[in-house]
Chains A and B, each alone.
Chain A
């Protein structure tokens, strides 16, 4: 009798413990990222907060080097059938990997999905499904030296005029040594894509069946870029190099470059200003760049995938995306984040953020065509040809259009 009772109690304990353990089964996920040392404590803090809230989850944060290294390692891990649970990824990395990803969107509430900034929804949606979610996002803004540019240009025409006025041979040796503005076409074709958007143009039509980059709007954008060329430093290096060497006075660059550009301005004893990009003929939009978070379906248990989705959703919470933005220099990615008191105070004390926030909320992202990587290469080359005076805008765009057509498939 006693033994029988003991047995029942024992069984009950085991069952109870079993249920309890199932609810809180320890799960470990791997998070690959490319955030260098400056960002790592910030990311670690967010992950620590997350694991404090979910004590059964362990997150292995693994720094994988530069974005290029990260992409190659992700690709290699997919080939080997053993990718991480969650990783940072650019849009054009995702298109070849789409079949091995676990879509995050279907696991999110409608409210959460609606909170993502409009310009970031399309670039995370593949075949109609929100697959990845935005993470570290930056926006193209206008940087200028306050001592040389008291009032930043607000229109294309002003930008052109000021570039012209500021281009000078300051030491009188007969060659220009200070340019009004600067471009890095081979490395940053997004500078042209910004003009293209502001002129109301696009690379392809909406259903990707036709190349539209050489239509009237595309041409207007390229002709505008060409008109700036004589007053522009053309380089492949970061603009901060030239900025810190007194070689350029103002330029369009990503908000992620803020700290480097600011440092460069300080190194020549100047104060730097940040404003919205000059208004184009149609709008004043600029391009959002940076990576998203994707969860892998391949070689993961359901518990791991759930945990990774939970982490992605955790990072989207207003307080977390704001914490990330304030400490990393990237931009918040949800609409609700921009109206938190915390962020409003932050912007009030960090005036350069005003332009970035404003630009972010009506920003646009790249298209998700599977061949976008190749298209970007082709655009970069044509943009460079025009900026270096090797080709007229019309000829370059027609040539580009036929190259892009071969990439439509």
Chain B
């Protein structure tokens, strides 16, 4: 009886309406599927294939070399350097931005004057084109005439060569990124804060919870879906950092390649000089693996910790 049922055709398959609906559903998603298929799925899978070929533009797909590109990359000191820079960037940028965004969201949630203005101002940083932002920040960082060094000079600090010092190049990129994304993350968190039902706060107050306790036991748990979302989005985005570096350092990757991230490395291999498209694809596959791993890990952890109302 059980085996029979396992192989039984589902009841709804017998219905014509079911097939009509299914067909209609596929027609509706067809345009999106076609676009995604051509511009996302096909390139995605062909990157894997390409990573096993040695190929410089003419006569695709070149010569099959198995894992040769991976061997090259793993023996390239600039790859490891780029990997380290990327983790350094992600490791600082993601938590710092999130922390500041939480603070800002809490502030924006208060009944303040000029609240709409403040919200717009924070978000403006995010919607301004990145290249324009980079151009402005390049001058803010100028060692002699930059605004930052001017303010630091007021406190008696000597001139800091932000973009010319190999130890400061990456921090300079991080500061700019944090500034840019705090507003965006804060707006999302703010939406979450405003969605929390007031009854939880009332109940907590009746139970005599302190301000911090309310924040710790009510606000944060109920905000976890938004925090989780922002965390994943900014983690993935941070691993893909490229344009900030490219603009701040005029197309180079900072002094002594000190701000060369994984995506910059991919661009260098594939496009900036002799085109090694196979190596670029191999490095992309590695980047994909890293992002995939962290996303799965986060999913595992947060599934147990995220609370939906």
Contact = CB atoms under 8 A, between A and B. Distances in A.
A68 B255 contact: no
B232 to A, nearest CB: 30
Interface string A65-81: 00010011001001100
A26 B57 CA distance: 32
Interface stretch (A39-47, A113-121, A366-374): A366-374
Interface residues of B, number: 29
B62 to A, nearest CB: 11
Instruction: Output the residue of B163, B164, B268, B274 with the most chain A CB within 10 A.
Output: B274
A236 B163 contact: yes
B56 A96 contact: yes
Given A68-B271, A237-B138, A371-B274, A78 B57 contact: yes
B226 interface: no
A168 interface: no
A381 B78 CA distance: 11
B273 A373 contact: yes
A388 B275 contact: no
Contact of B273 (A92, A187, A235, A390): A92
B240 interface: no
A344 interface: no
Given A234-B164, A236-B250, A97 B255 contact: no
B120 interface: no
Contacts of B60: 79
B49 interface: no
Contacts of B166: 388, 390
B144 interface: yes
B57 A96 contact: yes
Interface residues of A, number: 37
A236 B255 contact: yes
B159 interface: yes
B256 A381 contact: yes
B144 A236 contact: no
Contacts of A385: 256
A250 B145 CA distance: 20
Contacts of A376: 273
Nearest to A390: B256
Instruction: Output the residue of B60, B159, B166, B273 with the most chain A CB within 10 A.
Output: B273
Given A96-B58, A174-B158, A372-B274, A236 B254 contact: yes
Given A96-B275, A177-B144, A376-B273, A78 B255 contact: no
Interface in A232-250: 234-238, 245, 247
B164 A235 contact: yes
Instruction: Output the residue of A235, A245, A372 with the most chain B CB within 10 A.
Output: A235
B249 interface: yes
A234 B255 CA distance: 9
Nearest to A177: B144
Contacts of A377: 268, 272-273
A60 interface: no
Nearest to A384: B256
B85 interface: no
Nearest to B251: A187
A374 B275 CA distance: 9
A127 interface: no
Contacts of B272: 68, 373, 377
A297 to B, nearest CB: 11
A349 interface: no
Interface in A373-393: 373-374, 376-377, 381, 384-385, 388, 390
B32 to A, nearest CB: 24
11 contacts: A177-B144, A177-B159, A235-B163, A236-B250, A236-B252, A245-B142, A247-B144, A373-B273, A377-B272, A377-B273, A390-B166
Given A68-B271, A187-B252, A373-B274, 15 more contacts: A79-B57, A92-B274, A96-B58, A173-B158, A173-B159, A186-B249, A186-B252, A187-B250, A187-B251, A234-B255, A236-B252, A237-B250, A373-B273, A374-B274, A377-B268
Interface of B: 56-60, 138, 142, 144-145, 158-159, 163-164, 166, 249-257, 268, 271-275
